[in-house]
Amino acid sequence: MCGIICYCGHKQAVPILIEGLKRLEYRGYDSAGFSIVDKGKNKIVKAKGRVSRLEEKKIGLAMNSTFGIAHTRWATHGKPSEINAHPQTDCANKISVVHNGIIENYLELKKELEEKGHRFKSETDTEVIPHLIEENFDGDLEVAVLKSVERLRGTFGIAVLHADIDHQIIIVKRGSPIIVGVGKNEYFAASDSNALAPFTNKMIYLSDDEMAVLNTSGYYIKNLKNELLEKKIEVLDASEYKIDKRGFEHYMLKEIFEQPESVQNAYRGRLIESEGVSKLGGLEPVINRLKNINKLIIVSCGTSYYAGLLGRYIFENLTELNIETELASEFRYRRLKLDENVAVLAISQSGETADTLAAIKEAKRKGALLLGIVNTVGTSIAQITDAGVYNHAGPEIGVASTKIYTSQLVILTLMALLIGRYQHISFSEGSEIINALTGLPGQIREILSNAKDIKEIALKYSKYRGFLYIGRLYNYPTAMEGALKLKEISYIHAEGYPAGEMKHGPISLIDKNFPTVAIAPDDLTLDKMVSNMQEIKARNGKILSITNSATQKVLGISDDTIIVPKTIPILQPILNIIPLQLFAYYIANERGCDIDKPRNLAKSVTVE
């Protein structure tokens, strides 16, 4: 994995491929490369590191080619290097392939191909694909690709070209996203719509086991049984993929500051105030089934998992459903009894996370109703679920998720309110939730207007080497998410814990060099939180508290306190996480970290 962009048209391909690769940089990668065909010659340029290095290397290359494929790689098989970067080629250097995903049976295929005389250059799993196509090629690339993908096990989004076949690019999807972009007498393919934004807003989303053949006179789409398919062209709204930093130093900071709007966009048009209920068009097709389910299992990963963890408390509070929240990577291996009375809700920013996809495919097999909360339109999770709700938060470019987390929490609340109003939630309780939701954007603005003070506090803590984050009930997930933000972008160890568990182990870490971030809002858990904070103070631990009340109980035992506005307890985590996002950001910035592209991380994790 990580990003693919292809061009087939009448303009110079290289500038388009480079621009597309730059727009994929946010996904995280370690090397990049492209392949263009010029007068029957396959010209390949690769570079380790950033796309800007690739750009430097292409200088001096005759660039008349008007078709080509390009890739940013995030190493899975074989270290980051030029040789392992994509495109990978066959022995004759005529067939180029870029690939996202993993070929699980590559060792077996490689052995077979080596025995037939193929010579491999890289350590990648991808390289078996061009060799397999070479083996099957008899003048017709389409036939060779079809025969070859039949042999592949695993996940792939691939793009293929052959130097002897003018202006033909073939793409195939199984488990890893790839879409076609339709321009005027020019055609594109990419792993996500952001890469195509400067060129076209007309996209065709391929489903698994579909292929598209692009040439200058058009394109056609087939399934892998070689049957032609009619696919709808989706016209995307510019706001779905507009990317720029709007003067902020980093995308992450910009996205933190976008939260008043992204939170509002999550509930905009989705509230019926006169009835104290929400209205989610995306769930309407399954509403009758939804009314009859007795169990909801939320599956997701990382930050989306922490949103799901809080979702469990929200649903428990507002509905009569049995709720479980599961890490997607664990869920798929469990022996769970699922049936049509169970709904499985996948939460995913990218809509392409391989673990989450695998989990819901397993749930589908067992007959559960599949629901989704997805930010990226048309992606695999959005396609496979029976119904769902989009975040409409615009692209999230910073690898560390911020605005999508708070948006996910709003949508979980809307879903729980919708179901809860068919159950025990009264009109006045529904109205109270709606009032609290519509108050959030203003309250978030208020927190953001204190960013300077939060920065000052963060700088005081930037030299510590480890942190504990604690919270109870609704703010236990806040502690987990706050700690994740800090560790992923600043590389400082941070452990999120339910505060009550502290005395069962992590308290032994506490001393004057190991500060605690305590999320201690004024709710039914406050007194217990204060006791835990006392235990920390008694061991000389420093405390930074996040609270929504200027009570001496908290102020008196905290070294530093950030006070956020107050809302109803189920929504309070949406406000509490904002200073923690800023805290992590300012510490990482102070330490000179690559905030938008933290080391070893990818924005969209399309391998299990």
Which amino acid is located at 288 in the chain?
N
Q: Residues 22, 43, 173, 603: which is the catalytic one?
A: 603
Choose the catalytic residue: 2, 8, 301, 593.
2
Q: Binding ligand F6R by CB under 6 A: which of 332, 605, 606, 608?
A: 605
Tokens at residue 581, please? 């996002």
Residue (421 or 603) nearer to ligand F6R, CB: 603
Name the segment binding ligand F6R (CB under 6 A); options: 237-245, 276-284, 348-356, 573-581: 348-356
2 is catalytic: yes
- Tell which positions 300-329 bind ligand F6R, by CB under 6 A: 301-304
Scanning 165-173, 242-250, 297-305, 549-557 for contacts with ligand F6R by CB under 6 A, the matching segment is: 297-305
Q: Work out how close the CB of 310 gets to ligand F6R at its nearest, in angstroms, rounded to a whole number.
A: 13
Helices (H) and strands (E) in the chain, counts: 19, 27
Q: How far is CA 316 from CA 307, 313, 346, in A?
A: 14, 5, 17
Contacts with 442 (C-beta within 8 Å, 6 or more apart), sequence order = 260
Q: Which of 84, 348, 443, 581 binds ligand F6R (CB under 6 A)?
A: 348
Question: Of 362, 1, 30, which Cα lies nearest the Cα of 155?
Answer: 1
Q: Which is nearer to ligand F6R, 349 or 547 (CB)?
A: 349
Choose among 463, 467, 442: nearest CA to 580: 467
Q: Does 373 engage in binding with ligand F6R (CB under 6 A)?
A: no
Q: Select the residue whose beta carbon is closest to ligand F6R and give its number.
A: 302
> Beta 369-374 vs 342-348: how paired, if at all?
parallel
Closer Cβ to ligand F6R, 353 or 545, answer by number: 353
Q: Are 209 and 173 a contacting pair, CB within 8 Å?
A: yes
The secondary structure of residue 349, as a DSSP letter, is: S
Of 234, 239, 235, 244, nearest to 262 by C-alpha is 239
Binding track over 382-401 against ligand F6R, x by CB under 6 A? ------------------xx
Residue with Cβ nearer ligand F6R (303 or 325): 303
For residue 456, the 8-state DSSP code is H
Strands 210-215, 218-223: pairing is antiparallel
- The interface mask with ligand F6R, positions 480-519, x = CB under 6 A, is ----x---x-------------------------------
- Region binding ligand F6R by CB under 6 A among candidate stretches 205-213, 230-238, 244-252, 345-353: 345-353
Count of residues in contact with ligand F6R, rule CB under 6 A: 14
262 binds ligand F6R (CB under 6 A): no
Binding track over 399-428 against ligand F6R, x by CB under 6 A = -xx---------------------------
What backbone torsions phi and psi does residue 250 show, to the nearest 5 degrees? Answer: -135, 155
Closer CB to ligand F6R, residue 558 or residue 576? Answer: 576
Spatial separation of the C-alpha atoms in residues 519 and 323, rounded to whole Å: 24
| Whether 344 contacts 317, CB under 8 Å | no
**353: contact with ligand F6R by CB under 6 A:** yes
Q: In this chain, which of 96, 329, 350, 525 binds ligand F6R, going by CB under 6 A? A: 350
For 285, phi then psi, to 5°, come to -60, -20
Tell me the C-alpha distance between 50 and 116, whole Å.
36
- Smaller CB distance to ligand F6R: residue 385 or 547? 385
Task: Report how far residue 363's alpha carbon sits from residue 383's, in angstroms, rounded to the nearest whole number.
Answer: 15
| Range in contact with ligand F6R (rule: CB under 6 A) among 233-241, 313-321, 347-355, 455-463 | 347-355
Distance (Å, rounded) from C-alpha 404 to C-alpha 190? 23
Contacts of residue 197, defined as CB under 8 A and 6 or more positions apart, other chains included, come to: 23, 238, 241, 242, 243
Determine the interface stretch with ligand F6R among 162-170, 183-191, 349-357, 523-531 (rule: CB under 6 A).
349-357
DSSP at 126: T
Nearer to ligand F6R, 68 or 308 (CB): 308
- CB 392 → ligand F6R: shortest distance, Å? 15
Respond yes or no: is residue 366 known to be catalytic: no
| 3 state SS for 129-164 | HHHHHHHHCCCCHHHHHHHHHCCCCEEEEEEEEECC
Interface residue with ligand F6R among 356, 413, 443, 532 (CB under 6 A) is 356
State the minimum distance, in angstroms, from the CB of residue 334 to ligand F6R.
19
How near is the Cβ of 305 to ligand F6R at its closest, in Å?
Answer: 7
Active site residues: 2, 603
Residues within the interface to ligand F6R (CB under 6 A): 301-304, 348-350, 353, 356, 400-401, 484, 488, 605
